[in-house]
Amino acid sequence: MLHKLFTFHGGVRPDSRKSDSTQAPIAALPLPAELVVPLHQSIGGTPRPLVRVGDRVLKGERIGAAEGAVSAAVHAPTSGIVKAIEPRTMPHPSGLPASCVVIETDGEERWIEREPVPWKSMKGDELRDFLRDTGIVGLGGATFPSHIKLRPGAKPTHTLVLNGAECEPFITCDDLLMRERAGEIIRGAGIMAQMLAVERVLIGVEDNKPDAIAAMRAAAGDGIEVVAIPTLYPAGGEKQLLRVLTGVEVPAGRRPLDFGLQCFNVGTAYRVARAIDQAEPLISRVVTVAGNVDRPGNFEVLIGTPIDALLAAGRPRPDTDRVLMGGPMMGFALPSTAAPVVKATNCVLAGSPSLLPPPPPEMACIRCGTCAAHCPADLQPFELYWFGRSHNFGKAQEYHLFDCIECGCCSYVCPSHIPLVDYFRFTKGEIWAREREKAAADLARERFEARNERQEREKREKAERLAAKAEATRKKLATTEPTGEAAAASPAEEAKKALIAAALERAKQQKSSVKPRNTDNLPADKQAEIDQIEARRAGAEGRTVEPPETP
């Protein structure tokens, strides 16, 4: 190994269980009768639908246009008729529905017209817009629109990293992709390297995938280095991989681009090559079916295929009690397998009580620090757990809660079986909720203050307007009846003064007639005290009445 490698702190070594699903090549699935294509499949804005119910669509036709600065288009994965545009259950832990384009497939697979893109002669923005409109997003799981990450930063980008680590147990979709389609991955890497004008491309693959490493090395050209990295979960975390390959630690809240680095999944590079060379938008991806199934393997799956249909291809065993999307470390149990495969779906994992046993009862934290010893973000998970439990959210943030990548290493090793990551998700959620509430309250306060100010201003302006008008009238009167002014003003003023004097007199009388209450039948000493107070008060009033003489 010529390339110098770096290490990150902690990590765990779960049994990788990858060999079952790597026996067969990537297989195709029979075309389902119906595809459910969610409009929102990437981070950012929900694409605006471009089709109407009843429309005939072709394979690869854009059905949702990118909306907003961060968004990517979605496409019809095959030809057919738009049956509905309606909310359907999403592959998300919440199981909440979201807007989907439902396509009844016609089995003809009629493509839109396609021709290779002359990307070398295109301007950067043109090319990026093209990738946005072909729906290219990160296929490592985050589904961030790739065209945004391909915009060079303020500082030059020197290294492009491709992530082929695939550190989660069971998942092998990137492994198979690298074995079978290394050439197109390298081609995509070359295109992205040129877009970012980088000096070198590093492709990190965990050393438990020797076949993939060999295939990639055979395909790699000049300036592209395929690096075998030690198998240690979560080496496939973006920040962990960048650390291992380059030694740079990208802190939370900063982007790799700030350090002259950029990172994509190998699957994303493959899709970039397909988009450029075949003008093929992102309408399918490789998905691993593994776990409690009789025929584990990898499948090229059209986006929108019901997970049920995909799972059936793997033949799940009867004792399957749940189905996960993603791996066992960071995946989630699907509320419904009727949900469709989306761009983020890398693995469908059938679970059984023996394969993924229910967690033993949670016990008290003994502060043993095993979690901290395994945390790849160098956090002290048990401290965060205590802070989360006691709702000490400020302290949790001070101890870098938001640097947690939810990789699950801490829960994996905890001797008290505490679901630490659940606590961190809860704490993060609470903090976000509070910040939203605070933002809403701030907004309301600002609105209220603005309203008060506006009302004050309007009052003032009205008064000024009236005063100006009165002035104008007076001037007008003065010019028309100069002699009558003094006579007209003085009787009015006289009357006002008299009124005020009368009011003052009444007030005085009222004051003097007021008797102190509860002063009957007082003991002599109390009476004496009151008398004294009265005397002092009279004195004080007397003083204020007489203005002090100036010396």
Partner 1 sequence: MSHSPYLRDSRSVRQIMLHVLAALLPGIAAYVWQFGAGILLQLLLASLTAVAAEAAMLKLRGKPIGLYLGDLSAIVTAWLIALSLPPIGPWWMIVVATLCAIVVAKHLYGGLGQNPFNPAMVAFCVMIVAFPSLMSQWPAAGLDLSQQLDLILGGSRPLDAITAATPLDALRTGLRTGGADARVAEIVQGPAFGLIGGSGWEWVAAGFALGGIHLLWQRIISWHLPAAFLLTMALTALLLWGMHPERFASPLLHLASGGTLLAAFFIVTDPVSGATTPKGKLVFAGGAAFIAYMIRSFGNYPDGIAFAVLLMNICVPLIDMYTQPAVFGHKRRSS
Residues interacting with partner 1, by CB under 8 A? 6, 8-9, 12, 14, 93, 169, 239, 243, 246-252, 254, 324, 326, 328-333, 351, 356-361, 363-370, 372-373, 376-380, 382-383, 399-400, 403, 406, 408, 411-417, 419, 421-422, 425
Q: Are 35 and 77 in contact (CB under 8 A)?
A: yes
Minimum CB separation of residue 353 from partner 1 in Å reads 11
Q: How far is CA 345 from the centre of its chain?
A: 18
Q: Are 86 and 100 in contact (CB under 8 A)?
A: yes
Minimum CB separation of residue 251 from partner 1 in Å reads 3
Long-range contacts of 362-366 (CB under 8 A, 24+ apart): 362/416, 362/417, 362/418, 362/419, 363/416, 363/417, 363/418, 364/416, 365/416, 365/418, 366/415, 366/416
CB nearer partner 1, residue 61 or residue 383: 383
Minimum CB separation of residue 423 from partner 1 in Å reads 11
Helix axes 381-389, 420-480, angle to 10 degrees: 60
Q: DSSP class of residue 12? A: B
Minimum CB separation of residue 48 from partner 1 in Å reads 33
CB nearer partner 1, residue 278 or residue 397: 397
Q: How far is CA 1 from the centre of its chain?
A: 38
CB nearer partner 1, residue 87 or residue 359: 359
CB nearer partner 1, residue 125 or residue 258: 258
Minimum CB separation of residue 377 from partner 1 in Å reads 4
For residue 20, the number of C-alpha atoms closer than 13 Å in the C-beta half-sphere is 17
CB nearer partner 1, residue 49 or residue 351: 351
Minimum CB separation of residue 358 from partner 1 in Å reads 7
Minimum CB separation of residue 89 from partner 1 in Å reads 16
What are the structure tokens assigned to 363, written together? Answer: 């016990």
Q: What is the 3-state secondary structure (H, E, C) of 468-518?
A: HHHHHHHHHHHHHCCCHHHHHHHHHHHHHHHHHHHHHHHHHHHHHHCCCCC
CB nearer partner 1, residue 178 or residue 325: 325
CB nearer partner 1, residue 224 or residue 401: 401
CB nearer partner 1, residue 94 or residue 455: 94
Q: Which of 375, 380, 326, 368 is nearest to 351 (CA)?
A: 326
Minimum CB separation of residue 314 from partner 1 in Å reads 18
Give the type of residue at 229.
I
How far apart CA 490 and CA 473 sit, in angstroms, is 18
Rg value, the chain, Cα: 37
CB nearer partner 1, residue 366 or residue 530: 366
How far apart CA 450 and CA 448 sit, in angstroms, is 5
Q: Which of 275, 261, 231, 283 is nearest to 131 (CA)?
A: 275
CB nearer partner 1, residue 341 or residue 350: 350
Minimum CB separation of residue 277 from partner 1 in Å reads 37
What are the structure tokens assigned to 50, written together? Answer: 């471009």
Minimum CB separation of residue 420 from partner 1 in Å reads 10
Helix axes 210-219, 173-180, angle to 10 degrees: 40
How far apart CA 405 and CA 251 sit, in angstroms, is 12
